[in-house]
Amino acid sequence: MKLTVWTYEGPPHVGAMRVATGMKGLHYVLHAPQGDTYADLLFTMIERRDHRPPVTYTTFQARDLGSDTAGLFKRACQDAYDRFKPEAIIVGASCTAELIQDDPGGLAETMGLPIPVIPLELPSYQRKENFGADETFFQIVRHLAKPAEKTARVSCNIIGPTALGFRHRDDVQEITNLLYELGIEVNVTAPMGATPGDIARMGQAHFNVLLYPETGEQAARHCEKTFGQPYTKVVPIGAGATWDFIEEIRMLSGSTAQIDSDRLRQSWWSRSVDSTYLTGKRVFIFGDGTHVKTAARIARDEMGFEVAGMGCYNREYARDVRTLAKEYGVEALITDDYLAVERAIETLQPEMILGTQMERHIGKRLGIPCAVISAPVHVQDFPARYSPQMGFEGANVIFDTWIHPLVMGLEEHLLHMFREDFEFNDAAGPSHHGGHAAPQAAPAPDAAAAAAPQDDNVIWLSEAEKELKKIPFFVRGKARRNTEFYATERGLHEISLDTLYEAKAHFAR
C-alpha cells in the first residue's frame, strides 16, 4: 500500500484508451465499474475531443457480482459490436474487473464475432498508463500487422503518437513534413489516426520512426523482428537531436536530399547577445524519461543552462536517466511521488524548473519559474496554435516556452540596479506577465530560506539578512545557498555582510 495524492500516470487501462481513442474503427470493451467512465472526460475535456472515446464500459455493480458479470460483459461486447460496427475490438479489464477474474479475452473469443478480437492483459496493480499504451499497441500490431511486400518508394511508419499525448498532434505533422523533405513517404502513422486496416499494412514500410518510446517501443521491436524494419533511436526534440535524427534517417533510407533549415531560428536566438543572461542558469529537469533526456541536452548544449538535477517518474526509463545523469554529474531522481520531487527542488533551489504540470505547481509554491516539457497533460498542453516539440519548429517553440517564465536579460540588470525602487522591484515579477505574477511567488523563497540556517547551524546576521532581501527573488535562493555553502566550508557559524560579498566574489563567474 502506498499513499498517493497526485499521480504522474493513470492506470494501464487509461493507456489502452489512449491507443483506442487515437485510432479509428477500433472499439474497446472494458470490464469496469461505472465510476471508471470518468476517463472519458480526459479526452473530451482535456483534449477537447468532439467524440466520445470508442469505449464501452460494462459498469457492473455490487449486485451483479454474485450473479453473472461474465454475461454482462458478453452483452456489452455484442451491443458495442452491433452499434459501432468496428473493424476490430480490444477487450480488457480495469483494476476491479481484474480481481473478479472473468477473463474478458476468453469470453469475447467464444462469441464468434466476425472481426478480430484482441485480448489485453494489463496488470493494474503493478503497471501504469504508459505501459498500458505500449502493451496495447503492441498487441494490436502483433494481431493485425501482416508481412507484406515493401513499397516501391522508400517509406516508413511513424510509431507512438496516441490520443492525449503531450503535443503528439503537432509533432506528427512536423516530422511528417521533415520526412517528406527527405523524400520519404509515410506509410502508416499509428496508433494516432490509424484504422485496423492501416495496421495490417504496416509491414510494407522500409523502416519505422519511433517518436515516443514510452508508447511504441514494444511495437517497434516487434516490427524489427517480424518484418525486418529497423527503427530510429533518436527522438528529434531540440536542434541538435533533430540534426542527428536527419542523419539517422539518411542512414536508414539512403536519402541525400538537402534540408532547408532556415526556419530553425532557435540556434541564432540562443546565440544572440540578448540571450547571454541565460548562461549558467541552474535548471532542474523532471518528466517522462524521453522528454527529460532530450530536455537535458537542449538545456546544456543549446541554451547554455547548468543542469542542476534531473529525474523521471516512469521507472521503465530509470536506467537511461541514471546513465545520463551521471554524464551530467548529477544524481538522478527516479520517483512517482511528487512530494519527493518537491523536496529535491527545495533542496537544490534551481533558478528554473523544466517539468510537468506537477512541477509547475511546485514551482508556483516555491517561487521558481517553470516551463512544462512533458506529460501528464493539462488542458493548457493542447493549445489551439501549432506548437510541436519536435523538429526545427519544435526547437523554436521550446526556446520561446522556456524563456517565457524568466525575467529577461536587461530587465534582470535593471532589477539589480534599482532593487529598492518601490515600483520596479522583484515583487513586480517578469514585466511581460502583468503585475500579479510575483506577489505570491516572492514570499516563498524567503519562507523556504528562513528555515535553512537552523539546519546547517549557520546564523545570518541581521545586516546580511537585510542585504539578501534586496537581491531579486529569482537569484535569492541561489545566493543564500552559495553563501551558506561558503560559510560552512570555512567553518563559519555566522554570516555577515562581508561573508555575503566574499561568497559572491568566490562564486563569481
- The x, y and z cell numbers of residue 58, run together, are 460494462
CA distance 321 to 414: 38
- Interaction residues for other proteins, span 339-398 (CB under 8 A): 357-358, 361, 364-365
DSSP state of 298: I
For ligand SF4, the binding residue among 9, 19, 28, 36 (CB under 6 A) is: 36
- Interaction residues for ligand SF4, span 37-96 (CB under 6 A): 95-96
The answer to whether residue 33 forms part of the interface with ligand SF4 (CB under 6 A) is yes
Closer of 41 and 111 to other proteins (Cβ): 41
**Least distance (Å) between residue 35 CB and ligand SF4:** 2
For residues 137 and 214, is the Cβ–Cβ distance under 8 A? Answer: no
For other proteins, the binding residue among 5, 152, 384, 451 (CB under 8 A) is: 5
DSSP 435-497: TTHHHHHTHHHHHHHHHHHHHHT-EE-HHHHHHHHHS-HHHHHHHHHHHHHHHHHTT-SEE-H
Q: Which stretch binds other proteins (CB under 8 A): 50-58, 142-150, 174-182, 431-439?
A: 50-58
DSSP 302-358: IS--EEEEEEES-GGGHHHHHHHHHHTTS-EEE-S-HHHHHHHHHHH--SEEEE-HH
The answer to whether residue 7 forms part of the interface with ligand SF4 (CB under 6 A) is no
**Least distance (Å) between residue 14 CB and other proteins:** 7
What binding mask, one character per residue, do residues 53-72 give for other proteins by CB under 8 A, x or -? ---xxxxxxx--x-------
How far, in whole angstroms, is CA 290 from its chain's centroid?
Answer: 8
Instruction: For residue 494, give Cα distances in angstroms to 177, 468, 480, 484.
Output: 61, 14, 13, 9
Residues with Cβ within 8 Å of 327's Cβ and at least 6 positions away in sequence, in order, are none
- Interaction residues for other proteins, span 107-136 (CB under 8 A): 123-126, 128
Q: Which stretch binds ligand SF4 (CB under 6 A): 33-41, 75-83, 220-228, 247-255?
A: 33-41
Closer of 294 and 357 to other proteins (Cβ): 357
Would you call 274 a catalytic residue per the annotation?
Answer: yes
Residues with Cβ within 8 Å of 116's Cβ and at least 6 positions away in sequence, in order, are 87, 88, 89, 143, 144, 196
For ligand SF4, the binding residue among 4, 6, 35, 71 (CB under 6 A) is: 35
The length of the chain is 509
**Least distance (Å) between residue 95 CB and ligand SF4:** 6
**Least distance (Å) between residue 13 CB and ligand SF4:** 10
Closer of 37 and 275 to other proteins (Cβ): 37
Closer of 95 and 492 to other proteins (Cβ): 95
Listed in sequence order, the DSSP H helices in 91-212 are: 95-100, 104-109, 129-144, 168-181, 196-200
Closer of 38 and 268 to other proteins (Cβ): 38
Closest CA to 403 of 433, 440, 365, 367: 433
From the list ligand SF4, other proteins, none, pick the one residue 358 interacts with, judged by a Cβ distance below 5 to 8 Å according to partner type: other proteins
Residues designated catalytic: 274
| Binding positions for other proteins, rule: CB under 8 A | 1-7, 9-11, 13-14, 33-42, 44-45, 48-52, 56-62, 65, 76, 79, 83, 94-96, 99-100, 123-126, 128, 357-358, 361, 364-365
